[in-house]
Amino acid sequence: MKRLHGKTMLITGASSGFGRGIALACAEEGADLALVGRDEGRLSEVAEAARSQGGRAVVCVADIGDEAQVYAAVERARAALGRIDVLVNNAGMNVTQRSIADTSADQWRQLLNVNLTAAFLFTKALLPEMIAREAGTIINVASRAALHPHLAGGVGYSTSKQGMDALTQVTNEEANRHGVRACLLCPGVGNTPLLDRRPTPPPPEQRLKMLQPEDLGAVVVLVASMPARVNIELVSMLPTRL
């Protein structure tokens, strides 16, 4: 039997990059998916690829920087799939400006809203029902910046990812006793569209040495498929040869 057979998952930022890789890996292992993002066309392509594996996939178009749209996406997912067993808070963004001096207050607020507040809102929407049925997994895709904040990632991005660490730890403190677990997944540099927001984007040959979306997919499948007694609280990933 496939490792995620019978599981329903909500994945944010599922239209490209790590989110797409996570979605396709989980579909291949039998999961039914609610795919959240802003680009309906690209989400539909991912959904079609997921359905080709034999499962269900529903597109939930939302700007996760908007609280009302977060809750609407959750309701759309519930209506289509029923209970949500696994939440993957993957969506994230960055800006070209990285220093305190160059980052505007509006950019700071946008980064925290998309990268951290949205994860809190999806958790807030789904955690009570997970606790009620004493089962559920939340996977927060952060960054190595959550463990080692740095100027290359930027002040707003690093702060938002450290916040994901705190959210994960508090979720576990609140919910572990009810059989619900949370994992902080901290990938190093990955071959995703975020690279194009760097002041100097890396060349193609360097991107091939980075973590790839399917690498994140494999780890999410592992975390989500572990027996309920096991909580993998932290995963740190780095490219081997970069």
pLDDT for 209-219, tens place per residue? 999 999 999 99
Q: Looking at residue 149, what is its pLDDT?
A: 92
Question: How many percent of the chain have pLDDT more than 70?
Answer: 99
pLDDT at 204 over 90: no
Q: Looking at residue 81, what is its pLDDT?
A: 97
Residues paired with 236 in a beta bridge? 186
CA–CA distance, 191 with 211 (Å, rounded to integer) = 6
CA–CA distance, 66 with 34 (Å, rounded to integer) = 18
| Residue pLDDT, tens place only, 20-57 | 999 999 999 999 999 999 999 999 999 999 999 999 99
Residues paired with 89 in a beta bridge? 140
Structure tokens at 123: 């958790």
Q: Which residues are catalytic?
A: 157
pTM over 0.85: yes
Q: Which fold has domain 8-237?
A: Rossmann fold (3.40.50)
| Residue pLDDT, tens place only, 123-174 | 999 999 999 999 999 999 999 989 999 998 899 999 999 999 999 999 999 9
**Type of residue at 108:** W
Structure tokens at 156: 């707003």
